[in-house]
Chain A
Amino acid sequence: MAASVERPQTIQTMIDGVERYNPENTEVLEEYLAGQCKNGEYDLVANLVLLKLYQFNPQLSKVPVIVNVLAKSLTAIPKPDYNLCMYLLTDYVDVDEVKRLTHLQQLLEQSRYAEFWSTLEKDKELVKDIVGFEDAIRQVIAHVVSMSYQTIAASVLESYLALKGDAFKQYCEKQEWQLSGSTVSIPINKDNEAKTVVVRENIKFEQFTKVIGHSNEM
């Protein structure tokens, strides 16, 4: 699984082989995560290694770090990264922050975007360490919308993205969406085309040489 960032060699060494299990790597990985939060980068595998070290050495675990890992993985939706992190966090399921983040994850998974933004208002401090969190989530939502819609009412899109007026117009421009009046048109891409496809079998002549050769002998 490639990271969205060029993974530094020091981190790569920590992930390979038995170094994964060395609890002394915890601090370095925590710093790497802090870097990801500040720079908008994202490295799932390194974060999973950190969570695994917490799993094996519960005395080293820190809830704020866990919160950051989970918040970061929300920006990867629709990939299942959030679940993959939760599988390593079975002891923290009932922690309040984790429960609130899981609720936010569910809202995103169910595409309840308007509700997501209103709930996020109350939970802003959970994601305070992640620079550009809201924009990353907007990217997630924009991705889903551009897969599904060719034209969409501007008001609906505004509620999905929690943007209004000029900010909204600028966002549409950046995404190369056409805003005309009260509708937004999304350019055709391979996902929102909805073309009927007929899957035809593709047989090459070479595959029949045996049969033809055999018939020659008859």
Chain B
Amino acid sequence: MYNDAFEEDDLVAEVELVAQARYSRNADLEDGFNDEVVVNQQPAAVQIPDGVRNFISFFYRNVLENNVYELHNVYDTSFNKLTDKYYTKQPWPEAELIAPLVNNDEVFLTLYRELYYRHIYGRLTPTLEHRFRSYENYCDLFNYILNSEGPVNLELPNQWLWDIIDEFIYQFQSFSNYRDRLKNKSEEEIALLRDNPQIWSTYSVLNVLYSFIQKSRINEQLLVSKKGGDMMEAAGEYGARPLYKNLGYFSIIGLLRVNCLMGDFVLALKMMDNVVLNKKALFARVTACHVTAYYYVGFAYMMMRRYADAIKAFSNVLSFLQRTKPYHSRSYQSEQLARKSDQMYALLAMCIALCPTRLDENIHSQLREKYGEHISKMQKGVEGIPIFEELFQHACPKFISASGRLDGTPRADPYQTYMKIFVTDIQNQIKLPTLRSFMKLYTTMGVDKLAKFLEMDPEELKMQLLVFKQKSRQIKWVSGDLLDGEYLPTSDLDFCLKQDVVHIAESKVGRRYADWFLRNINRCEDIVASLEQRA
């Protein structure tokens, strides 16, 4: 899961590795828990607490029976309860140790290992060995699902399927960042990395995601559900099964994310071509997936300067989260959801500062509470730039470089570049809010006079006006795919220049009668009803 403090943890892991006399494949047997097992030649099951043993048998039975309903509880609740009880500071028992309990069923053990490594990434520190082994485990799992003769007879809860894709990408992200920080690594480590370029390589990760999409024919299925047609034919043998369909669908969201992480925002949005972004979409069934999709869509829009569209995306998902708050505050993912939600508020704050728009009341009040001060500072001119930098740093995803470079040449951190481009853009428009506030007060004004008010050179002001004109128009989504849009005005203020005189026009929102009347009709009804009751 999301353990954003892995830089520190990596240092610990590196120290650990260096401290070991010889790098051996038995490294993880030195874990205190398993020492007893090695000494005691008895079946290792003896050292596993009873509760855990029962849990594993129960778990195994349900996987065999494809009992998705029970599995959901097992996966969502029981596993985490037992983790909190026994395994907060150490890994779960190795797959080999519990194998006797499950008849050495390879498929189950692969699934178990997925949880095992996810636990290590989430609560402990993965070593290079763990990273390699986890990658191989994913390869085993995906090979089984994709390359067996015919579709496999396995059903897993949607939450787990999403988490598999999500964690797979997370570990890839973690590995890329790890690989790019070569300074403190030992020669052996660097050699290992160099000898195994295919492990956690970008191509292999993309290959997995694209394979799921192709096998499940999810794009064809989505097209059919949008435009009509024969769903069974579109789905094919694999796509008709929920396991494949869901993995294909989640892989689309996964590709949205991976492309954003590598800076290809156009392709990221293109991936979502057939996905309709609304409440009824498939991704809405898994909250984490829902949130991830909107976060990356909004972020991609923001980096493409489509602030109005970004604002819409963020508002959408934030109001969804607010409405469903009581339902996910109990789940083990509530922490991550809260963090993602906060990041989206930060991004929303930046977009609102750049493109002031009316927001839904609830979102607006939440935003004011969290970032009200930030927003007013961001609109005050040059002093707002550090605020933009702070919020960007807080809310941006952890970018990665697509290809590794192991020869030790220094490399620009992609995050720095994105930050720089973003901030440069901001600097070009930082004086605009002040300009706007002055222009709102007048209908006509000479350029020289306005320049004096703003304490600017008139030539400078003319350039700012041209910039203002350009920034007040964006590509805005009207219909069609996410990348479509028309070049439309997004500001409520417009102007034109006649020689040296600025003519200003403001667009006003007329009184909204319908809403007012409807609300009062309801109130009137309530009053009448309560009067009738008393009578």
Contact = CB atoms under 8 A, between A and B. Distances in A.
Interface stretch (A67-75, A82-90, A130-138, A165-173): A82-90
B406 to A, nearest CB: 12
Given A52-B264, A55-B403, A79-B475, A150 B510 contact: no
Nearest to A16: B270
Interface residues of B, number: 59
B470 A90 contact: no
Contacts of B263: 55, 87-88, 90
Interface string B477-516: 0000001000001000011111110011111111011100
A21 B403 contact: no
Contacts of B401: 90-91
Contacts of B402: 52, 55-56
Contacts of A110: 428, 463, 467
B304 A201 contact: no
Interface in A63-106: 78-80, 83-84, 86-88, 90-91, 93-94, 106
Interface stretch (B3-11, B78-86, B202-210): B202-210
Given A55-B403, A110-B467, A111-B467, A1 B424 contact: no
A111 B497 contact: no
A178 interface: no
Given A83-B425, A87-B418, A192-B496, A201 B403 contact: no
A194 B503 contact: yes
A83 to B, nearest CB: 5
Interface stretch (B96-104, B368-376, B409-417): B409-417
User: What band does the interface of chain A fall in when counting residues whose beta carbon is under 8 Å from B?
Assistant: 35 or more
A56 B483 contact: no
B424 A106 contact: yes
B465 interface: yes
B53 interface: no
B417 A90 contact: yes
Given A21-B203, A110-B467, A194 B494 contact: yes
B421 interface: yes
Contacts of B500: 153
Contacts of A48: 264, 266-267
B497 A196 contact: no
B506 A196 contact: yes
B411 A91 contact: yes
Contacts of B412: 90-91, 93-94
Interface string B446-488: 0000000000000000111111011001010000000100000
Interface in B266-298: 266-267
Contacts of A18: 210
Contact of A1 (B202, B418, B483, B494): B483
Given A55-B403, A56-B203, A198-B510, A211 B417 contact: no
B424 A80 contact: no
B507 A148 contact: no
Interface string B41-74: 0000000000000000000000000000000000
Nearest to A77: B470
A152 interface: yes
Nearest to A102: B424
Given A48-B264, A111-B466, A201-B513, A86 B305 contact: no
Nearest to B495: A194
A162 B396 CA distance: 41
B260 to A, nearest CB: 10
Given A52-B264, A86-B417, A91-B411, A148 B403 contact: no
Nearest to B415: A90
Contact of B507 (A86, A94, A198): A198
Interface string A139-157: 0000011011111110010
B387 interface: no
Nearest to A208: B514
B497 A149 contact: yes
A58 B403 contact: yes
A111 B469 CA distance: 10
Given A83-B421, A109-B425, A149-B497, 9 more contacts: A48-B266, A80-B304, A84-B265, A88-B263, A183-B499, A193-B505, A194-B503, A198-B508, A199-B507
Interface of B: 202-203, 206, 210, 262-267, 303-305, 401-403, 405, 411-412, 414, 417-418, 420-421, 424-425, 428, 462-467, 469-470, 473, 475, 483, 489, 494-500, 503-510, 512-514, 518, 521
24 contacts: A21-B203, A44-B266, A52-B264, A83-B305, A84-B265, A88-B264, A93-B412, A106-B428, A109-B425, A109-B470, A111-B467, A144-B470, A147-B470, A148-B466, A150-B496, A151-B497, A152-B499, A193-B494, A193-B496, A194-B505, A196-B508, A197-B508, A199-B508, A201-B513
Sort A-B residue pairs by CB-CB distance and give the 3 closest, nearest first: A87-B263, A111-B466, A194-B496
